[in-house]
């Protein structure tokens, strides 16, 4: 029993009462108050004060062990290699496809190569084979080709691996919230403010949505255009932030799969203007789904 008592955690208030000459009157009064609380608790439980202290110490040790175990688990999740991170991304891709009743063809080498390269762009320690990590990423293509599904799956994988330095924004939802807020009298909130103030790396999903063409007090919404110009200014100033855009807009007509004089598919130029188009093409890796064509050093051809 003596060995057990020797190992009992001695709280600070007991140390004060054991050597009162070393402490002030106020500290002694406070120590007596804490001892009274401790004694009342032990009496309520029908055990000695020493036993109560011992059980509390064991509980603290157990909690400490669990915290240590959790910290190791978090560290293991945070420091996964590219292969493990990629497997997590594809797991979420497959789950999303299964949930929507579609099938992801993992035997399609071109698509897998495309996805793997984009996953490299997001992995915190890996180098890309063709993409430039010093540029933003602009994923574009026709509706339903997998852009949003991929970035959402990668974002889920980042959260799973406890990487909290990425934020996801769905532009059509923000635009609708902005319009709703603007109708309220004396409302000073702006749904786009979080986009301009965010310092995390960002996924901005579905720019160029038709909701941006709604008119507010007779004028079209300018916030999305301003956002892209703001990101350009930050990129020029070498702010260490990465931004991933997805869109149904093509950068320009030269990225169409086929072309004709009567082709009116939307581009950055005719949805926004020349200024936005030029700046986005300068700062972004341009990646087309499901095929990618490129020119100059920031336009990447991942698939033939």
**For each successive 10 residues of the chain (304 residues), what is the average pLDDT?**
54 89 91 91 90 86 80 71 93 88 79 93 93 94 86 95 90 83 60 86 92 68 84 88 93 74 75 92 90 42 43
The pLDDT, as a whole number, for residue 292 is: 40
The pLDDT, as a whole number, for residue 109 is: 86
Instruction: State how far the Cα of 241 lies from the Cα of 134, in Å rounded to an integer.
Output: 9
CATH code assigned to 80-288: 3.40.50.300
Number of Cβ within a 10 Å radius of residue 264: 7
The pLDDT, as a whole number, for residue 142 is: 80
CA distances for 23 relative to 16, 27, 33, 198, angstroms: 7, 6, 15, 51
The pLDDT, as a whole number, for residue 298 is: 45
Residue (of 170, 174, 133, 135) closest to 151 by Cα position: 170
- Environment class of residue 271 by beta-carbon count within 10 Å: exposed (0-12), middle (13-18) or buried (19+)? buried
Instruction: State how far the Cα of 148 lies from the Cα of 247, in Å rounded to an integer.
Output: 9
Instruction: State how far the Cα of 29 lies from the Cα of 49, in Å rounded to an integer.
Output: 19
The pLDDT, as a whole number, for residue 36 is: 92
Domain ranges within the chain, ordered by starting residue: 2-77, 80-288
The per-residue pLDDT for range 7-48, each reduced to its tens digit, is 557 888 888 888 989 889 999 999 999 999 999 998 999 998
The pLDDT, as a whole number, for residue 185 is: 54
Instruction: State how far the Cα of 292 lies from the Cα of 126, in Å rounded to an integer.
Output: 22
């Amino acid at each position: 029993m003596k060995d057990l008592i020797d190992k009992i955690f001695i709280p600070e208030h007991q140390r004060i009462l054991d050597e009162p000459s070393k402490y002030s009157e106020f500290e002694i009064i406070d120590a007596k108050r804490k001892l009274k609380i401790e004694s009342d608790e032990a009496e309520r439980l029908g055990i000695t004060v020493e036993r109560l202290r011992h059980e509390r110490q064991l509980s603290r040790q157990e909690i400490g062990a669990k915290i240590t175990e959790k910290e190791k688990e978090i560290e293991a999740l945070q420091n996964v290699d590219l292969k493990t991170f990629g497997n997590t991304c594809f797991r979420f891709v497959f789950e999303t496809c299964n949930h929507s009743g579609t099938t992801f063809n993992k035997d399609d080498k071109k698509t897998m190569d495309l996805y793997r390269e984009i996953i490299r762009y997001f992995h915190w320690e890996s180098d890309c084979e063709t993409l430039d990590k010093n540029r933003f990423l602009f994923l574009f293509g026709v509706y339903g080709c997998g852009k949003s599904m991929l970035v959402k799956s990668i974002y889920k994988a980042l959260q799973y691996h406890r990487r909290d330095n990425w934020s996801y924004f769905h532009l059509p939802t923000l635009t609708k919230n902005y319009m709703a807020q603007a109708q309220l009298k004396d409302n000073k909130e702006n749904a786009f403010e979080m986009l301009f103030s965010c310092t995390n790396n960002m996924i901005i999903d579905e720019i160029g949505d038709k909701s941006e063409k709604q008119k507010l007090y007779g004028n079209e919404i300018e916030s999305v255009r301003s956002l892209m110009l703001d990101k350009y200014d930050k990129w020029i100033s070498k702010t260490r932030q990465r931004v991933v855009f997805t869109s149904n807009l093509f950068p320009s007509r030269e990225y169409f799969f086929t072309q004709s004089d009567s082709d009116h598919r939307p581009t950055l130029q005719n949805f926004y203007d020349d200024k936005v188009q030029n700046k986005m093409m300068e700062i972004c890796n341009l990646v087309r789904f499901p095929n990618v064509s490129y020119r100059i050093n920031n336009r990447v051809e991942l698939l033939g």
